[in-house]
Amino acid sequence: MSGVAVEDLLGLWSDELRGAKARLRPLFLQAGTAASAGAFLDGLLGPERRKTGWMRAESAGDTGPWRQQAVLGRTSWDADALRDVVRDYALNALAEPDATLVIDETGFLKQGKASCGVGRQYTGSAGKITNCQIGVFAAYTSSKGHALIDRRLYLPKDWTGNPERLAKARVPEDVRFATKPAIAAAMVRRAVDAEVPFAWVTADSVYGVGELEMALRRAGKGYVIGVTGSHHFNSWSPTLSVAGTAAEIAKALPEESWARLSAGNGTKGPRLYDWAYLELADLDPEMVGAPPGLGLWTRGLLVRRRPTDGELAFFTTWCRHGIPVDTLVRVEGQRWSIEDAFETAKNELGLDHNETRSWHGWHRHVSLVMLAFALLAVVRHKADAIAAPPKTTAKVPRPWSAGRCRRSVVLPTT
């Protein structure tokens, strides 16, 4: 955010923090609880490295953590209502019609067996099977920035099949087992119902293929979703005859099929890979129940090859006929935004510092962190809008990062 006067930047922080707290107030029946939630938000954005109840209470000037704990546990308020508040707040600043919805999960390491959803399961956060909770998230990503706008705690079958365990963790009675793709599909439907402006969805191979793809086709949204090398593809195009696994098809491609393109800027400049794209079929989306009048759409296979060692990654795609490959590459590259969101939310905002064991405690804590992250995104976007034009355009712009936004100023008190 270079080029922004300090007084302007501090004013932005102050205005946005007041505004975020004002959005919180209607969710609570009592003014005192709303004030505690505001202090909770202050604690998340404050300098303390650990965002525990005691640390937040100390930052708020309380003699103990009880007010902070009450926000997550004893009081009655709707975390899903806060999720919707966060979404609308972020979209007010970041919305664009060609934005991308990024679906991914992250792990929360836990000890014991009592925390809702905890169990031995794989998490990329640790790179192994370990005792943890898994949260599925949706990030909204546009050229203006990115923010987390949806979340859901994943419950393994050994939880949903144990009524006593569910009751102890205060899981709502209507919550049933749902696969991660099913959770992602529900998030897409919720975004569509809320008229969130987006054109694309991208996710890794955990979320394809099947339910999520069908939900997106019916909604008239394009996608770039990861698949494994063993996933089978067939072409229905009269000009192309392809059949086999993604890995087999990629291996048979001639060198002239590959093009070096950037998937977006990283910390060291453009993230360059070799890409190959095959259009496998042209279809009328109305065949799968999509809205009429969308025109012809194309199903395809996108392959990414790392120049240094030739490692391949594979993606199934669905887009309007004639979309250029560099657009699909750009969409796939948007997945970095949710990785940045997880890193910043954990390292700076205490996403994984939740001390509650209940279903509603997890969703309340995570939703408050999402509000804090959205505030960073909005401040960054508005600061960029008032910044003076750069003196030179020769330098490669650094990628947007909410973490750098938070560390660039001292948070003012309100």
> Mean pLDDT, consecutive 10-residue segments, the chain of 414 residues?
75 93 94 91 88 76 79 88 98 98 96 95 90 97 97 97 96 96 96 97 90 92 96 82 92 95 85 95 81 87 96 96 95 95 95 93 97 96 78 50 48 44
Question: What is the per-residue pLDDT for 266?
Answer: 76
Q: Model pTM?
A: 0.90
Cβ distance 290 to 220 under 8 Å? yes
What would the 3-class secondary structure string for 192-219 be? HHCCCCCCEEEECHHHCCCHHHHHHHHH
Question: What is the per-residue pLDDT for 409?
Answer: 41
Question: What is the per-residue pLDDT for 413?
Answer: 44
Q: Are strands 222-227 and 200-203 parallel, antiparallel or unpaired?
A: parallel
Cβ distance 249 to 233 under 8 Å? yes
Whether the link from the prior residue into 209 is cis, omega within 30° of 0, is yes
DSSP for 128-174, please give it. Answer: EEEEEEEEEEEEEEETTEEEEEEEEEE--HHHHT-HHHHHHTT--TT
Q: Are strands 297-305 and 269-283 parallel, antiparallel or unpaired?
A: antiparallel
Q: Closest Cα partner for 209 from 242, 237, 231, 234?
A: 231
Question: What is the per-residue pLDDT for 411?
Answer: 43
Element (H, E) at 308: none
Strand partners, 396: none
Distance between CA atoms of 166 and 80, rounded to whole angstroms? 19
Question: What is the per-residue pLDDT for 412?
Answer: 43
Cβ distance 18 to 5 under 8 Å? no
